Amino acid sequence: MPTGDIDDVAWKFLRSEFTGRTYANWPIDRRVDAYLIRNGLRKIMDNGSDYAALLDRVMSNIGAALRSGVLSPGR
C-alpha cells in the first residue's frame, strides 16, 4: 500500500471514535484492529508490512493530532 494511503488511514483512525474514552483502556493495536475491521480494511491487518507502517504512522502523528485539535488530551 502506498505511503500516502497509509497516512490517510492513520489520520482517519486518529479522527475516529477509537481514540475516545470508550476505548481508552484498550491497547493501541487493538483499537487499530477494531477500526480496520469496522471499516473493511482487514487487508491492512493481513499484510505485516502495511500494518507495521500504519501503527508507526499513527504513533508518529499523535503529537500533530493533539496540536491540531484532532485529538484532545481529555478525549
Q: Which domain holds residue 51?
A: 3-68
Instruction: Classify residue 22: in a domain, yes or no.
Output: yes
Low-confidence ranges of the chain (pLDDT < 50): none
Grid coordinates representing 66?
A: 493533539
Instruction: Classify residue 75: in a domain, yes or no.
Output: no
Residue 74: predicted pLDDT: 60
Question: Which H or E run contains 17?
Answer: none
Instruction: Classify residue 73: in a domain, yes or no.
Output: no
Residue 59: predicted pLDDT: 96
* pTM of this prediction exceeds 0.75: yes
Instruction: Classify residue 32: in a domain, yes or no.
Output: yes
Number of domains in the chain: 1
Instruction: Classify residue 35: in a domain, yes or no.
Output: yes
Query: How far apart are the C-alpha atoms of 23 and 6, rounded to whole Å?
Result: 22
Instruction: Classify residue 13: in a domain, yes or no.
Output: yes
